C-alpha cells in the first residue's frame, strides 16, 4: 500500500496523509486496467483508515 500506509502504521498520520494526497493527485496517470484498479483500491483503503 505504499509509504502512506507505512507512516500510518508508525503513527505519523500527518506524513501518511501527505503521501496519500500526493498519490491521489497523480493516480490519473495509471491506466484503467487491473494494476490501476489495485492501486486505486489500496488508496481507498488507506484513505478510509486515515479518517
Tell me how crowded residue 42 is: count the other CB atoms within 10 A of its CB.
15
According to the model, what pLDDT value does residue 1 have?
A: 60
Residue 2 above 90 pLDDT? Answer: no
Q: What average pLDDT does the structure give for the chain?
A: 93
| 48, burial (CB in 10 Å: exposed 0-12, middle 13-18, buried 19+) | exposed
Give the mean pLDDT of 26-30. 95
- State the pLDDT at residue 6: 92
Pick from 26, 51, 49: nearest CA to 39: 26
Question: Collapsing DSSP states into helix, strand and coil, what is residue 34?
Answer: helix
Q: What's the structural domain count of the chain?
A: 1
From residue 48, give the alpha-carbon distance in Å to each of 20, 40, 45. 11, 12, 5
Cell 502504521 found at: 9
Containing structural domain, residue 23? 3-49
Amino acid at each position: 500500500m505504499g509509504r502512506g500506509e507505512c507512516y500510518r502504521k508508525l503513527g505519523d498520520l500527518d506524513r501518511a496523509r501527505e503521501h496519500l494526497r500526493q498519490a491521489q493527485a497523480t493516480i490519473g496517470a495509471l491506466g484503467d486496467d487491473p494494476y490501476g484498479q489495485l492501486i486505486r483500491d489500496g488508496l481507498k483503503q488507506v484513505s478510509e483508515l486515515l479518517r
